[in-house]
Amino acid sequence: MGPPIIGVSKHIQHIRELVDHVAHTGLNTVISGESGVGKEVVAQNLYSRSPRLGKPFIKINCAALPEGLLESELFGYEKGAFTGAEQKRRGKFQLAHGGVLLLDEIGDMSLPLQAKLLHVLQSGEFTPLGSEKELRTDTWVIAATNHDLKQDIAEGKFREDLFYRLNIIKIHIPPLRERPEDIPPLVDFYVKEYAEQLGGENIEIPSPRVIDRMMQYGWPGNVRELQNVLKRMMVLGNCDQIVNELFANQSENIGGPAPVSDIKRPVSLSDLLDLEGENSPESESFSLKAIKRKAVDQVEREIISYVLDKTDWNRSKAAKILKISYKTLLYKISDLAITPPPGKKR
């Protein structure tokens, strides 16, 4: 299940060592780091090295579900517990019994639900909705977050007692830009994997020079963005151009999403795409397909930035407005390298 933790930086070496020393303990763990840094990979590696391997590994995203639904997903319900509960349903705590429950995006859990989670962690027992019986659960709880939970506590959004109860083991994964030396081994690993998937001959892979440039880039979407870029390189070819685009988009994004007033001003698409300049039909890289993708990317980036701006970077809200799944939104944020305005956490 999942890849090994790839990397040669001292951060990654330290994380591997930590995983080796704590995987057998089953003590509550918090894994923190920006989106796409590998929090789930670390959780999977903890599980694979633990005596719980072979037991269930259950994951739930606390940001993707509204409060009521998240509660019934976690604890389950009896038939008739609420309108629509036509069948009894087992909760994640029951499903994960003996194994691991990964609570993803724990920082987005509501305060009332935090209280209920705290109760489960203290007592090892939980009650399905509409039930009288407390059920026992032996579940290794691993929480992941891209929030600064200390900050959330200061703002009254996260319970301090829950924080300490979860943080028995803490594993922080620094962003990829702070450990560029991990890029070559990651590229190596995923080039092999994707080459196998793509199966064709003459797949273009990034040259050492391209990898060098990749090591200079900021990777706001971290390893997930790196994977997307690699896939694009191997499917479309032309690694040089793709790496150039990364830097071009990065400078466009400095200062965060376009201010609202900019979006309202009608812009000509040919301006936007620089059809007179770099992307002119005279240019070598010109092709309808490439331009079309660039145009779609531009439009998506504008719209998503706009909605994120409006929702104050509340990504679950933004996903709902955009009518795309939360996952898709996160993917697009990283793929399109949309960065939050200064002072906003990503």
Partner 1 sequence: MATNPRVLIIDDTEEVLSALCKYFDEQGYEVVSADNGLDALKLLDEDIPGFDLVITDLVLPNVSGVAVISIVKKKFPKVPVIAITGWGEHPEALAREAQADLVLEKPFKLPDLEKAARKLIAGGTGR
Ligand X SMILES: Nc1ncnc2c1ncn2[C@@H]1O[C@H](COP(=O)(O)OP(=O)(O)OP(=O)(O)O)[C@@H](O)[C@H]1O
DSSP characters over 134-145: -EE---EEEEEE
Nearest-approach distance from CB 61 to Mg ion, in angstroms: 8
- Answer whether 99's CB lies under 8 Å from 55's CB: yes
- 161 sits near partner 1 (criterion: CB under 8 A): yes
DSSP character string of 205-237: ---HHHHHHHTTS--TTHHHHHHHHHHHHHHH-
Instruction: Quote the least distance from Cβ 224 to ligand X, whole Å.
Output: 4
In this structure, the strands spanning 57-61 and 100-104 are: parallel
Contacts of 103 (CB under 8 A, 6+ apart): 60, 62, 109, 117, 141, 142, 143, 144
Cβ proximity to Mg ion: between 48 and 250 the closer is 48
Q: Using CA atoms, how far apart are residues 281 and 206, in angstroms rounded to an integer?
A: 25
The site that binds Mg ion (CB under 5 A) totals a number of residues, namely 1
- In the list partner 1, Mg ion, ligand X, none, the entry touching 253 (Cβ below 5 to 8 angstroms by class) is none
- The region of 34-42, 164-172, 232-240, 315-323 touching ligand X under the rule CB under 6 A is 34-42
Q: What is the closest distance, in whole angstroms, from the C-beta atom of residue 88 to ligand X in the complex?
A: 31
> Other C-beta atoms within 10 Å of 86: how many?
8
Cβ neighbours around 311 below 10 Å, total: 16
CB of residue 220 to partner 1, shortest distance in Å: 26
Which of 67, 125, 138, 160: binder of partner 1 (CB under 8 A)? 160
Cα–Cα distance for residue pair 321/315, rounded to 1 Å? 10
What residues between 86 and 115 interact with ligand X by CB under 6 A? 104
Instruction: Give which of Mg ion, partner 1, ligand X, none residue 41 binds (C-beta under 5 to 8 Å, depending on kind).
Output: ligand X
* Residue, CB closest to ligand X: 38
**Using rule CB under 6 A, residue 35 touches ligand X:** yes
Q: Is 220 in the site for ligand X (CB under 6 A)?
A: no
3 state SS of 29: strand
Long-range own/partner contacts, residues 292-298 (CB < 8 A, 24 or more apart): 295/269, 297/336, 298/269, 298/272, 298/273
Residue 27 binds which entry of partner 1, Mg ion, ligand X, none, with Cβ cut-offs from 5 to 8 Å by kind? partner 1
3-state SS class at 6: coil
Terminal Cα distance for the chain, rounded: 28
Site for partner 1 in 167-186 (CB under 8 A): 167-171
Give the nearest distance from C-beta 276 to partner 1 in angstroms.
Answer: 54
* Residue of 40, 148, 240, 274 interacting with ligand X (CB under 6 A): 40
Q: Which of 40, 78, 297, 300 binds Mg ion (CB under 5 A)?
A: 40
The region, left, alpha or beta by phi > 0 then psi within -120 to 50, assigned to residue 84 is left
In whole angstroms, the minimum distance from the beta carbon of 14 to partner 1 comes to 8
Nearest to 249 by CA among 311, 294, 313: 294
Nearer to partner 1, 27 or 154 (CB): 27
d(CA 93, CA 109): 16
- Region of 3-11, 69-77, 94-102, 304-312 interacting with ligand X (CB under 6 A): 3-11
Interface with partner 1, residue 308, by CB under 8 A: no
- Least Å from the CB of residue 31 to partner 1: 11
Q: By C-alpha distance, which of 241, 233, 238 is closest to 190?
A: 233
Q: Tokens for 86, please give them.
A: 């036509």
CB-wise, 37 or 291, nearer to ligand X? Answer: 37
The site string for ligand X over 286-305 (x = CB under 6 A, - otherwise) reads --------------------
User: CB 62 → partner 1: shortest distance, Å?
Assistant: 21
State the residues that interact with ligand X by CB under 6 A. 3, 5-7, 33, 35-41, 104, 144, 146, 223-224, 227, 330
Q: Which residues would be at the binding site for Mg ion (CB under 5 A)?
A: 40
